[in-house]
Amino acid sequence: MTIQELSGPWGAARVAELGGCVLSWQPAGHGEVLFLSRDAQLTPGSMWHGGIPVCAPWFGQGRGDWQVPHGHGLVSRVPWHTETVENLDDGATVVLTLPATQTAHLPGASRYPADLAYRLEITVGAAALTVALTITSPTQDVTVDVALHPYFRLNTTGTTLTGLEGVGFQDALRDWATGTAEAPLAFGEHLDLVFDAAPPLFLSDGETTLRLATSSANRTVVWNPGPASRELSAEWDQFVCVEYGNVREGAITIPAGGAHTMSMTVEL
């Protein structure tokens, strides 16, 4: 499976065509920013823990009255096509594309237009990483969930997330009970919260501080499996996931002939 290896005075990064997933970002003078599980298997048809997976055209277990065949959609399970790679002294850009014909064989694909098209632009440098996803629907109106699902390599139990104070949330672990964040979030137990806004955020474990921002997202998802995790029992304390997206009640409708672009920027 093709992996784009990028490097220069700015640092290094790796982008997998499978899933259109950023696997690694190591800015010059800094350690690895992203977490990749030691058990990650880059195998078509599967989705792994780590990097920045793309979730579309549904998120989690989806919406509505149907049971999704697997979590987080279709596009993370098939190879994307590399359109361009530009590697310069101050950074690099990779553009990947994916027509819906590449996902047509997967369960659940028939519920979405057969001509959906996806474009992912990834820009990396010494101080920032930006991922921008565009979904185009040429001939039909369609409602989709979309999220960028980064795993940040941090000391989980020492990490705090600020910027969501006063924002309402739904708790996936408590039958979508609602609440409001009243203080910076701390980690150390299973969390799965969907917040009703997507403001700029600061994520810090005392050694590394990341500033997160988005364009055109309306939800923030905060997730960590905690120490009782079956799949990540030995690694849960090495990462946190803070995701921007348009999910659940925030899903977006793309009109026929239209497109939607959502981006996420991570700054050191």
Tokens for 135, please give them: 């979904």
CB 246 within 8 A of CB 217: yes
Q: In Å, how far are 34, 143, 153, 179 from 121, measured between CA atoms? A: 18, 22, 22, 35
User: 43 vs 124, which has greater pLDDT?
Assistant: 124
Stretch 177-199: mean pLDDT: 96
**pLDDT confidence bin for 22, thresholds 50/70/90:** very high
Average pLDDT over residues 224-253: 93
pLDDT at 39 (0 to 100): 83
User: What's the pLDDT at 63?
Assistant: 80
Mean of per-residue pLDDT scores for the chain: 94
Banded pLDDT at 229 (limits 50, 70, 90): confident
Residue 46 or residue 36, greater confidence:
36
Phi/psi of residue 237, each to 5°? -90, 15
How confident is the model over 248-254, as a mean pLDDT? 96
Handedness of CA 90, 208, 36, 216 (dihedral sign): negative
Q: Is the pLDDT of residue 69 over 90?
A: no
Check residue 165 and give its pLDDT.
Answer: 98
pLDDT over 80 (residue 157) = yes
Whole-model pTM? 0.95
CB-based contact 207:185 (threshold 8 Å):
no
pLDDT band at residue 129 using 50, 70 and 90 as cut-offs:
very high
Does the pLDDT value for residue 1 go beyond 80? no
- Which of 45-49, 74-78, 111-115, 192-196 has the weakest average pLDDT? 45-49
Q: Are 78 and 103 in contact (CB under 8 A)?
A: yes
* Cα angle: 212, vertex 119, 37; to 5 degrees: 55
> Which of 53-67, 173-187, 189-203, 246-260 has the lowest average pLDDT?
53-67
In 3D space, the residue among 150, 132, 94 whose CA is nearest the CA of residue 263 turns out to be 132
E strands present in 140-180: 142-144, 146-148, 151-153, 160-162, 168-171, 177-180
In this structure, how many other beta carbons lie within 10 angstroms of the beta carbon of residue 127?
A: 15
DSSP summary character for residue 158: G
How many whole angstroms separate alpha carbon 156 and alpha carbon 184?
Answer: 14
pLDDT score of 106 more than 80? yes
Q: Mean pLDDT over residues 179-183, rounded?
A: 95
- The secondary structure element, H or E, covering residue 99 is strand 91-99
Residue 103 pLDDT > 80: yes
